[in-house]
Amino acid sequence: MNAQIQHLYNIASKAERRIVGLMSGTSLDGLDVALCRISGSGPATNVTIEQFETLPYDDELKAAIRRVFARKEIDFEHLCLLNAYIGRLHGQLILDCLHDWKIEPADVDIIASHGQTVYHAPRTQHRQEEFPNATLQIGDGDHIAAVTSIITFSDFRQKHVAHGGEGAPLAVYGDYFVFSNSGENRILLNMGGIANFTYLPADADARNVFTTDTGPGNTLLDAYARKLLGKAYDEDGKLARQGKPNDQLLQALKKNPFFDAPFPKTTGPEVFNVDYVAKAQEQSQTGNLSAADLMTTLVQFSADTIVDSIRRVMQPHETYRIYMSGGGMHNPALTDAIMQQLPNSTFGRTDELGINGDAKEAVLFAVLANESLAGGVTSFGNRQGVPSITMGKVSFPG
Ligand X SMILES: CC(=O)N[C@H]1[C@@H]2OC[C@@H](O2)[C@@H](O)[C@@H]1O[C@H](C)C(=O)O
Give the one entry of ligand X, ligand ATP, none that residue 371 binds, where binding means its C-beta sits below a cut-off of 5 to 8 angstroms depending on kind: none
User: Considering only 44-52, 188-196, 255-263, 347-355, which stretch makes contact with ligand X by CB under 6 A?
Assistant: 188-196
- What part of residues 147-176 is at the interface with ligand X (CB under 6 A)? 167-171
Binding-site size, ligand ATP (CB under 6 A): 23
| Residue of 22, 29, 185, 280 interacting with ligand ATP (CB under 6 A) | 29
- Measured from the CB atom, the residue of 22 and 146 that comes closer to ligand ATP is 22
Q: Is 120 in the site for ligand X (CB under 6 A)?
A: yes
CB 379 within 8 Å of CB 206: yes
**CB neighbour burial string for 142-159, b if at least 16 within 10 angstroms, e if fewer:** bbbbbbbebbbbbbbbbb
Give the one entry of ligand X, ligand ATP, none that residue 266 binds, where binding means its C-beta sits below a cut-off of 5 to 8 angstroms depending on kind: ligand X
Q: Read out DSSP for 224-293?
A: HHHHHHSSSS-GGGTTGGGS---HHHHHHHH--GGGGSPSS----TTTSSHHHHHHHHHHTT-TT--HHH
CB 355 within 8 Å of CB 321: no
- How far is residue 180's CA from residue 284's CA, in Å, rounded to a whole number? 43
Q: Is 250 in the site for ligand X (CB under 6 A)?
A: no
The least CB distance from residue 327 to ligand ATP, in Å, is 2
Residue 311 vs residues 175, 199, 215, 218, 314: alpha-carbon distances, Å: 19, 11, 15, 20, 5
The least CB distance from residue 260 to ligand X, in Å, is 18
Q: Is 215 in the site for ligand ATP (CB under 6 A)?
A: no
Of the CA atoms within 13 Å of residue 148, those in its CB half-sphere come to: 36
Q: Please tell me whether 29 is known to bind a ligand.
A: yes
User: Considering only 67-75, 191-199, 236-244, 315-323, which stretch makes contact with ligand X by CB under 6 A?
Assistant: 191-199
Q: Is 297 in the site for ligand ATP (CB under 6 A)?
A: no
Residue 48 vs residues 85, 190, 359: alpha-carbon distances, Å: 31, 19, 11
**CB neighbour burial string for 19-34, b if at least 16 within 10 angstroms, e if fewer:** bbbbbbbbbbbbbbbb
181: number of Cβ within 10 Å: 14
| Residue of 19, 20, 27, 345 interacting with ligand ATP (CB under 6 A) | 27
Residue 325: phi and psi, rounded to 5, are -155, 175
Q: Is 222 in the site for ligand ATP (CB under 6 A)?
A: yes
User: Considering only 9-17, 189-197, 253-261, 341-349, which stretch makes contact with ligand X by CB under 6 A?
Assistant: 189-197
Q: Please tell me whether 28 is known to bind a ligand.
A: yes
User: Considering only 99-107, 175-183, 283-291, 328-336, which stretch makes contact with ligand ATP by CB under 6 A?
Assistant: 328-336
- How far is residue 219's CA from residue 224's CA, in Å, rounded to a whole number? 9
Question: Which secondary-structure segment (H or E) carries 24?
Answer: strand 16-24
- What part of residues 349-378 is at the interface with ligand X (CB under 6 A)? 361, 364
Q: Please tell me whether 140 is known to bind a ligand.
A: no
Residues at the annotated binding site for ATP? 25-32
Q: What does the binding site for ligand X look like in residue numbers (CB under 6 A)?
A: 25-26, 117, 120, 135, 167-171, 192-194, 196, 211, 213, 266, 268, 361, 364
Q: What does the binding site for ligand ATP look like in residue numbers (CB under 6 A)?
A: 23, 25-27, 29, 190, 192-194, 218, 221-222, 233-237, 326-328, 330-331, 361
